[in-house]
Amino acid sequence: MNKHLPILDWLPKYQRKYLSTDILAGITVGVMVIPQGMAYGMLAGLPPIYGLYATLIPMIVYVLFGTSRQLVVGPTAMVCILMASGVGPLAEAGSVEYISLVLLLSFLVGCLQFAFGLFRLGFFINFLSHPVLSGFISAAAIIIVISQINNLIGVTATHEGLTYIEKIKTFFSNFTRVDIPTLSIGLLGLATILGVKKWNKRIPAPLLVVLGSIGFLYKYNLALPSISIIGDIPKGLPSIYLPAINLENINALLPTIFTITLVGILESIAIAKVMQAKNKDYEIIPNQELKALGIANIIGSFFQAFPTAGSFSRTAVNDELGAKSGIAALVAAMVVLLTLLFLTPLFYYLPKAILAAIIIAAVVRLIDIKEAMFLWKSDRTDFYMLLITFLATLFIGIEQGILIGVFLTILMLLYKSTKPPITIFGRIPETTHYKNIESSEELIIRKDILIIRPDTSLFFANITAFKERLLQAKKEKGLALKLILFKADAISDLDSSATHVFRDLLKECKQEGIHFYFVGLSKSLYATLKNSNTLILLGGNFLFEGEQEAIDYFDLQMAKEAWRKKKLENNIED
C-alpha cells in the first residue's frame, strides 16, 4: 500500500516541527492560486470558476498518490493554451458543448498518463529534447500573450480560425478601438505584478492586484462602464459529473490528448526532480508520478476539473516558504475550498483585464531568448532544432509544433546513432599512458601502430561509419602499418551486422600482414566473437588488458621476427 499510496509512507514519519512552515506555505499558495486559477480558467476558454475547480480536487488527489513533497498540481498556462487550441475548433468557447469536451479531455488525458505509469512508459518523454522543448514553450508563451491582448486592451474580437499572424494584424487594426480605462488598469496591474515579483517573490502580487482592482471597480464601476468584469461566479463546490464517452469526440481530441499528456508529464516530472534535488530527503519515482497525475486528472474530471499538471510558480513559492510535505498542498486546497463555499461573490467586480495581466505576467518569463543565444554560440544543430520548433508552433499550430519537435528529436537521434564517436590514441611522452590525438598535447604517434576505440556500442546503424573511419586511418598510415590495436572497453554489445564487418576486417588485415589485437574485451563480447567464429582468424595472443602491454608484446614479436629473418639470411649466405 505504501508503494501505491506514498502518503502512507511519509505521513506516519511526519515531524511536528514542520507544521508551522507547511501551514504558512499552504496558505500563501492557496491565496496565490485563487486569482491564477480564475485567470487560467479564462485562458482555457472556460468560465473562471472552472479554474478553481481544477485547483481543488487534483491538488488533494496528487498529495495522496504523488512522491514529491513540494509539487503543487493545478492549472498551468501551457496546458490551458493547448486545451483552448485543441478544443476551440470543435465548439464555441464557454459553451455547454465546449465544457463537455474539456471534461472528456481531462478524463482521457488522465487515463493515458495513468497507462504511461502503469506500463512504465515514462521513457517516452525523453523524445522531447531540451532545445525542442525550449522552442515550443517560447512560441506557446507568445501565443498565450497574443490570446490575452484583447482582454488587456478592452476590445471584443473573435480569433477563431485565424493564424497568429492574422491575430496580430487584427490587434493592430483594432488599436484605434482600445478602451483607455481597461488598458490603464490592465497595464497598471501587469506592472505591479512584475515589480512586486522582482522585489520579493514571496508576496502574492496577483492577489494584491485582484483585491485592489475589485475595490476600485466596486467604487467606480458606474463611472467606468467600459471595463469588462467577471460578474456572477457560482457559489459552492463542483457537482459530480461523468464525462460523456463519444468515439467521434475522442477521435477529434486525439492530437490534443497526446500533446497535453506529454507536456503535462514533462512539466510535472521536471519540476518534481528539481525540488527533490534541492531537498534530498525523499525519492522521486517517475512511474508513480505518472500514475498520480493520471489519477488526479481522472478524478478531477468527475468534479468538473480541466487537465492539470505541476505548476512551476506555485511549487517554487511552496518550496521557498519551507514546505516539507504534502500538508502544505492540503492547506492550500482548504483555502480554495473556503473560497468556493463563501468568497466567490467577492470577485464579482474583478476586471478581465487584471486576469489577462496575471496570465501575461506568468508566461512572459517563459520566452527564453538566452537559451537560443547560448545554442547559437555552442551548438548550431540544437539551435536550428529550437528555431524550427518555435516557428512551427507559432505559425502552423501548437499540436503540430510539438509533433514536429518530437520528429526532429527522433530524426537527430537516428542520425547521431549512425555517426559513432571514434577516438584514435597516441602516447603521452615519457609515460605509458595514451590519449586522444586530437588533444592539445604533443603525443608520440607511431606510424606502424593504429590505436582506435569506438566510444559506443557497434550495431547495424553505425558499423559502416566505423569501418570507413578505420579504413581511412589505415590509408593514412600506409604500408608502414603493422598493428591495429582495438580498444573495446567502451563497447557493451555487438549485433550480427557488426560481427560480420569485424570478420571482413580481420580477413583483410590477415591478407595484408597486419596484426589485430583487442584491449579491454569483455567476457560477453569475447563470447559473441568466439561463437561467430570470428576469433579463429587471429593467431597467437590477441587479448590484452592495456595498451602498453599489447605494444610491448607486439614489439617483442617484431624483434623475434626480425631476428629470425636475419638468421635465415645468414644461413643462406653461409
Q: pLDDT per residue over 27-86, tens digit each?
A: 988 888 888 899 899 989 999 999 999 999 999 999 999 999 999 999 998 899 889 989
Percentage, residues of the chain above pLDDT 70: 94
Q: Which CATH number fits domain 422-573: 3.30.750.24, 1.10.3080.10, 1.10.460.10, 3.40.50.1370?
A: 3.30.750.24
For residue 175, the model assigns a pLDDT of: 64
Q: 25: which 3 cell numbers?
A: 506555505
- Bridge partners (DSSP) listed for residue 348: none
For residue 368, the model assigns a pLDDT of: 85
Distance CA 497, CA 486 (A): 18
Q: Distances in Å between the alpha carbon of 264 and those of 80, 156, 216, 255?
A: 11, 31, 37, 14
Q: Maximum Cα–Cα distance for the chain, whole Å? A: 126
- What one-character DSSP code corresponds to residue 240? P
The backbone torsions φ and ψ at residue 367, rounded to the nearest 5 degrees and listed phi first, read -80, 105
**Residue 384 burial (CB count, 10 A):** 16
Runs of H (alpha helix) within 2-129: 7-10, 19-43, 49-65, 77-87, 96-118
Mean per-residue pLDDT, 337-360 = 89
pLDDT confidence band for 156 (50 / 70 / 90): low
- What one-character DSSP code corresponds to residue 484? E
Summarize pLDDT for 170-213 with one digit per residue, the tens. 666 666 678 889 989 999 999 998 998 888 877 778 888 988 99
Long-range pairs, 194-198, Cβ under 8 A, ≥24: 194/361, 197/361
Mean per-residue pLDDT, 335-353 = 90
Name, in order, each residue with C-beta under 8 angstroms of 176's C-beta and a sequence gap of 6 or more: none
| pTM for this model (two decimals) | 0.75
For residue 283, the model assigns a pLDDT of: 86
For residue 573, the model assigns a pLDDT of: 57
SS3 content of the chain, % helix, strand, coil (to 5): 65, 5, 30
Q: Which residue has the higher pLDDT, 572 or 9?
A: 9
CB-based burial label for 452 (10 Å; 0-12, 13-18, 19+): middle
**Residue 542 burial (CB count, 10 A):** 18
pLDDT confidence band for 374 (50 / 70 / 90): very high
Domain residue spans of the chain: 7-412, 422-573
